[in-house]
Structure 1
């Protein structure tokens, strides 16, 4: 065999050494974690374990659900829809003209009879239906910097179409503030003998009063345009103290929502006659919306809502039913030991 010519073509030994060294340097350091060689738990759930787990979940969830339902049932709630009942009969076919006519008295009186004892505090809510506060253009129509910074009150960016009126900036600007709810309620017990005072202090979140709305920002040029939207604001009070506005500007996610109007710090007894004198000012008729007044107590879960309790109870019952089904299947088709093994004999290849 002839000797190999060292001067011939091909990579040199020096090049091979440098390539091997570079490859060695790029190789990650060996570790059991990077090589996935750590010990791992690979449990095989046998039917008995699954059945016990489902029964345990059912035993936990069903009592929780029943407790939530019981707490919701203890809450006393009165709901009265008044948007159509407060319209004169001769204008039921033209509700928009009724609400837009400022010469018509909008005073309306409703009477409640308390079905159960209501312990203080009694929360007053107004409920609106078919009002889409989550609409994209509506949500964007405000300026948060203007709300909290007195030096930026002229900044009306993003507030269109309610940015300026008569050539001057609106404070607070935007459609959200412009559409402020302006129905009012006053309450008496008996036949007008005892006035139930409505406390409106602290109905908003403290974080909103302290951070979102400025203590030195006052309403200016508000509702002075050609088209009046909703309620008025007190120009002598800063925005951080106008709690009706603060509550209204917390955007609702759904078209049916409730917002806190105030609270009554007195107990009401079963059978009490409560008379409500309201001003039906808010125009919900243009979009076929509904308005309701809600009086409600509160429990340890909040207001009256049985959804959470029902969800827990249904999940618990479903777990019990699945456990029963698996138990029947286990007794009818018992598992053998080879079913629990991870090692299966491969089938022979059929030629």
Structure 2
């Protein structure tokens, strides 16, 4: 009997089997092969020749990369000057805390740096702090990113404790990170001529435009009884206070550098650079060190030999491994897929 859709019926159940059981059996078979890890696959055999070749090629490729990275790192010129001890007057060196906490004592200090190699502009000026743990869990959490974007419109500033309010009024920006803002200052001169030092565009553009509000101004900042670090200009929005933006990008290690500015003129060999600095920041309370760093940069960034040394070391190790494997293979060759070398074959032979 024909149906309306053109099919047919079979009352006895005889005839060709329906497609559903066939599909089900196919799926079951495929699933069984998948669970038994018996699907078609490429199974490369790592013969001794392939292993030796891979190690050798890895070393040949990586070592030149490391040498290029080392050359780029060595092409940068750095001047590092630690000033936290020398900028303390002789009579206060036994008690540095009393010196740094006494606002009636002048914190002005002068240094002189000698340029050993030519330094091409722009020359990055960093301040370096050692033994300062910006990655401490409590310190990192003590900030409010929504408040940095919205200001007083952001009510939830609970993470900013203990620097959430002062004298019952909210603090903008709140938290321990802005409260501990670095506040040493530097100026440079070559002879009687001031060196052109730019303080603009030292922070990331994304931070200036998106993370810090253009209509958010400091409110009640550093007005408490305990002053942590630098002060902010209440007439400038947070997006223009780049010292704060740079400082609030917390460092991952206890020794770190942060960009202070850029010298926009070349320095020649044997130039004497006079540095006029104000030693305000209290690093003596936690046994920290303060350094002034002048550094050029290459296409790879600043001076850092880690990448080059790591590549050269890894490449040399790979070549040594390749040579060792080659000598072992020549001395004790092992034919590929030889069943006599299987562990159970050796046991049966011993029996």
> Which of the five TM-score ranges fits, normalised by the shorter chain?
0.7 to 0.9
TM-score (norm. length: structure 2) = 0.88
Residue-by-residue CA offset, 1:21-57 (whole Å, 9 max, x unaligned): 99x9899544377364432122222212211111111
**Distance apart, 1:150 and its partner CA:** 3.5
For the residue of structure 1 that corresponds to 2:338, the secondary structure is: helix
Residues 1:92 and 2:93 are matched in the alignment: yes
Q: Which residue of 1 aligns with 2:107?
A: 106
How far apart, CA to CA, are the structure 1 residues paired with 2:179 and 2:52? Answer: 58
How far apart, CA to CA, are the structure 1 residues paired with 2:349 and 2:55? Answer: 41
Q: Compared with structure 1, are the counterparts of its residues 350 and 89 closer, same or farther at alpha carbon in structure 2 (3 Å cutoff)?
A: closer
Q: Is the 8 A contact 1:156 1:170 kept in 2?
A: no
Q: Which residue of 2 aligns with 1:254?
A: 253
**Distance apart, 1:341 and its partner CA:** 8.6
Q: Which residue of 2 aligns with 1:238?
A: 237
Q: Compared with structure 1, are the counterparts of its residues 341 and 60 closer, same or farther at alpha carbon in structure 2 (3 Å cutoff)?
A: farther
Q: Which structure 1 segments of 5+ residues have no match?
A: 1-20
How far apart, CA to CA, are the structure 2 residues paired with 1:181 and 1:209? Answer: 19
**Distance apart, 1:143 and its partner CA:** 1.1
Residues matched between the structures, number: 328
Q: Which residue of 1 aligns with 2:267?
A: 268
1:160-239 alignment runs, 5 A limit: 160-190=161-191, 193-239=192-238
How far apart, CA to CA, are the structure 2 residues paired with 1:145 and 1:48? Answer: 59
For the residue of structure 1 that corresponds to 2:273, the secondary structure is: strand
Q: Which structure 2 segments of 5+ residues have no match?
A: 1-19
Q: Which residue of 1 aligns with 2:131?
A: 130
How far apart, CA to CA, are the structure 1 residues paired with 2:317 and 2:138? Answer: 43
**Distance apart, 1:155 and its partner CA:** 4.1
Residues 1:278 and 2:277 are matched in the alignment: yes
Q: Which residue of 2 aligns with 1:34?
A: 34
**Distance apart, 1:172 and its partner CA:** 0.4
Q: Compared with structure 1, are the counterparts of its residues 37 and 245 closer, same or farther at alpha carbon in structure 2 (3 Å cutoff)?
A: same
Q: Is the 8 A contact 2:115 2:269 kept in 1?
A: yes
Residue-by-residue CA offset, 1:142-171 (whole Å, 9 max, x unaligned): 111111014525543211111111111111
